[in-house]
Structures are given as C-alpha cells and as structure tokens.
Amino acid sequence: MPKLNFEISLATLIPEFLHQFLSAAQVDRESITCLDFEDLRDAVKNTKEPELEGIRQFLAVENEAAVAKEHELTQDESLEQMSDELDAEIEAVDDELYHKYTPGEIKYMLGEIIDNIDLLYGIYKAHADLNLSLSVGYRLKSGLESGIVVEFLTVTESPEFLEDVFLIPMKNYFVSDDIIARMYIVYEKEKLDQYKSEFDKISAALQLKQGGDDTPHVHGPDCGHLH
C-alpha cells in the first residue's frame, strides 16, 4: 500500500489536515462531497444527547416547529404533507449541490465527530451495524477523481485491507482511549503515477505550511499544526 509523503503527529488533527488538504491549489473546492453524512444524519436524528447538538443542527435532522405543526394536522393532511416533503427531499438529494461542502464545513464536522467519538461511535454502530467511516469525495483540477476515507474503529478491531488507496501515516492513531482513526486517499490504479504526482505537490504545500512560521511554540493537539 503506497503512503502519502506526509505524516500527521496526532489523529486528533485529522480535521485540520482535511481542511488544509482540501484547500490545496490542486483541489477543485466546488467538488467536495460527503454522502456518508446522510447515514450519520439518520443515526443521530432521534438522539437527545446535548453533545451531538452541533452535528444534528449541521445535518438539519430536527425541526421542532415542523414536528409541532404536524401534530395539528388531520391524518389526510399529514399524509399529503409527508408526500410533499418526501418528493422535495428526493429532488434535493438528486441535486448535486445537496451533497457539497466547503473545506471549513468538513473540518467542523470531523471536529465534532472526533470530540464526541466515544458517544457517537456506539450510536452509529447500533444504527448501521458497521464501524463509523466517512468518505470525502473531491476532484483534482487535473481532472482526477479521488476521495479521503476516515475510518474509526476500536483498539480490539482490525482495519479492513483496502486496495487502490494511499495510507496517510500518523504517529498516534488514537482519537480517544479506546478508539483509533485511520485515513486513506483513494486513487485509480491505472493512473497511479498521475495521482502520486498530484499528491506529492499537495504534500509539499502542507510541509511548507508547517514550517512557514519561525516563532517558537509548544507542539500539541491544539496548536493548529500537523507536525
């Protein structure tokens, strides 16, 4: 498995890494998607934990005013409204813009997920019977299609072997005492050399961002750097 020519010191810095990677000059920022947020929305929509409020609001899974109004409708009116809402939702999901996100939004969501990973991991696994895994799709300006997969699993679980991916190395894979995160970049096997060239350019830019400030500082998970 090839590796990205860049190493993250702490898995808790994944949100910042994603923000910097997706903000790179080689990435088409209008192409960033994450369809897996829909599964996450379904997993948390009926939860009441206040820690997940940021995720629920971002994914727009709860509208208390709409729920209250629904109770005032007759059965026929309620069914008609449900049908209209379903048609609107299907139309929205078919719209490419429905799934698009900015690098900042991806950073925010991954930050919320990691901050609440012990709670969220169990909720998601109970809902989907799968490990929590998110694939952030994007297109490079060169025309190559790719994606970054962030996979969460407990220390007792083994990651699945994935083909046609670059591993993003980390010195410390833990996001909590019991859960680790791994990250991969998807590529097309027959175009490996083209992908490697593009990823090397992005890695070089990330290295420059790390070393661009001569001001001494204490390394740590909250310093904002990926060293």
Q: Is 179 contained in some domain? A: yes
Residue 122: what pLDDT? Answer: 94
Q: Is 225 contained in some domain? A: no
Q: Is 82 contained in some domain? A: no
Which structural domain range is residue 45 located in? 8-53+97-210
Q: How many domains does the chain have?
A: 1
**For residue 77, what are the contacts with CB-CB under 8 A and spacing of at least 6?**
none
Residue 211: what pLDDT? Answer: 54
Residue 208: what pLDDT? Answer: 72
Q: Is 39 contained in some domain? A: yes
**pTM score of the predicted model:** 0.77
Q: Is 135 contained in some domain? A: yes
Q: Is 125 contained in some domain? A: yes
CA–chain centroid gap for 51, Å, is 18
CA dist 169 → 12, 116, 173, 193 (Å): 13, 23, 9, 19
Q: Is 60 contained in some domain? A: no
pLDDT (tens digit, 9 = 90+) per residue, 94-152? 444 456 899 999 999 999 999 999 999 999 999 999 999 999 999 999 999 999 999 99
**Hey, what are 134's tokens?**
């998110």
Residue 84: what pLDDT? Answer: 58
Per-position b or e across 92-108, b if 16+ CB within 10 A of its CB:
eeeeeeebebebebbbb
pLDDT (tens digit, 9 = 90+) per residue, 67-84? 444 445 555 555 666 555
